[in-house]
Amino acid sequence: MESQLKEIVAAAEATIEEVTTSRELDDFRVHYLGKKGVLKELMKGMGKLSPQERPQMGKLGNEATQRIEELIAARKVWIKSRELDVRLKQEAVDITMPGDAFEKGHLHPLNLVLNEIKEIFIGMGYKIAEGPEVDTVYNNFDALNSPKDHPSRSLSDTFYINEELLLRTQTSPVQVRTMMANEPPIKVISPGRCFRYDELDATHSPMFHQIEGLVVDEQITMADLKGTLDLFAKRLFGEKTRTKFRPHYFPFTEPSAEVDVSCFKCGGEGCRFCSYSGWIEILGCGMVHPHVLEECGIDSGKYSGFAFGMGLDRITMLKHEIDDIRLFFENDIRFIKQF
């Protein structure tokens, strides 16, 4: 039995050099030291030895096991080092080779114009106000002095969720929320998405973007409104831009007006871009109706204000001469790359 132990150790020492991978080393360990390995099988024969021989053979068996474990440990270190060298060579990076070119993204044209408009009004002391796209019928219509029979309330014009909730048709509900939550002076713009039941075509979309402005303070007049919008038009379309105010009607403002700017394409001379009129409509505005102020808890005898609203999509289409609103939502990279 002693000679068999020596033969097993000698065989392990002779074959360990042939083991070159972790998988082969594990097979080697199982062959010699596993529960059914050659050493375990041999040591099972100790039961046939005399009581005097067993201690000596147990010692020799432990020494053989220890020697094979040493061979395995030493070989494991060698294999790990070799595998690391192989992996490092395979994963080597040639730093002299040119890197892969990654195309950078950039802002959507709507965001470009929105940021420009924000910068203009922030420069005039306005803050940004936001509100939910799902709002109440009260905030969207009632608090804004909208008559119960106004066409905009019909199912053919507004997306209703239930009798009390809807997808906002304008960003004006943000003005209501702002006035109810804050004491004057108030000076905010509220950009955001709006929704109306429109057929999708080159100039209409059921989802669109608006930017509305609101100023409430003591002694605010129409002159403040005209000066503000005239400065805005010059900053956005150029210093030579002129503005024209035309009387109009909005339920939440009185008096109300629509604002035209001189055509920035022809300078007001008249061209195909402005339908040869020299003017382009850009927004609606007016003095905040006293009923709206009172509904929001503001004393209309002490405070007055003005409001204005513009379509971001329309402004962007005009500024960049885009002839189809659907291009904004189709995510065609060929279109977006132009900006």
Alpha carbon of 308 to those of 34, 83, 148, 229, 257: distances in Å?
Answer: 85, 71, 23, 9, 9
Same domain? 114 vs 186: yes
Domain assignment present for residue 100? The answer is no
CA 325 to chain centre: 22
Q: Which residues have C-beta within 8 Å of that of residue 121, sequence separation ≥ 6?
A: 189, 213, 232
Q: How far is Cα 294 from Cα 289, in angstroms, rounded to an integer?
A: 9
Q: How many other C-beta atoms can be found within 10 angstroms of the C-beta atom of residue 21?
A: 11
Taking only the tens place, the pLDDT of each residue in 87-108 is 888 888 878 888 888 877 788 9
Report the domain count for the chain: 2
Provide the CATH number for the domain around residue 181: 3.30.930.10
- Do 69 and 32 contact (CB within 8 A), yes or no? no
Same domain? 174 vs 242: yes
- Do 278 and 263 contact (CB within 8 A), yes or no? yes
Phi, psi of 239 (to 5 degrees): -65, -25
Same domain? 290 vs 176: yes
Domain assignment present for residue 104? The answer is no
- DSSP structural state of residue 295: H
- DSSP structural state of residue 121: H
Average pLDDT over residues 6-32: 86
Average pLDDT over residues 283-301: 96
Alpha carbon of 21 to those of 43, 66, 88, 336: distances in Å?
Answer: 29, 21, 16, 54
Average pLDDT over residues 321-332: 91
Same domain? 72 vs 218: no
Same domain? 39 vs 124: no
The size of the chain, in residues, is 339
pLDDT higher than 90, residue 55: no
Split at pLDDT 50, 70, 90, the class of 47 is: low
pLDDT higher than 90, residue 68: no
Same domain? 187 vs 295: yes
Taking only the tens place, the pLDDT of each residue in 225-261 is 999 999 999 999 999 999 999 999 999 999 999 999 9
Same domain? 191 vs 291: yes
CA-wise closest residue to 254 among 304, 213, 184: 304
pLDDT higher than 90, residue 9: no
Same domain? 78 vs 128: no
Same domain? 124 vs 242: yes
Same domain? 46 vs 128: no
pLDDT higher than 90, residue 208: yes
Instruction: Tokens 């008249």: give the residue.
Output: 270
Domain assignment present for residue 102? The answer is no
pLDDT higher than 70, residue 1: no
Domain coverage including residue 15:
2-90
Same domain? 127 vs 82: no
Alpha carbon of 218 to those of 185, 302, 314: distances in Å?
Answer: 8, 6, 33
CA angle 9, 12, 14 (to 5 degrees): 110
| Residue 250, pLDDT score | 93
Domain assignment present for residue 225? The answer is yes
Split at pLDDT 50, 70, 90, the class of 339 is: confident
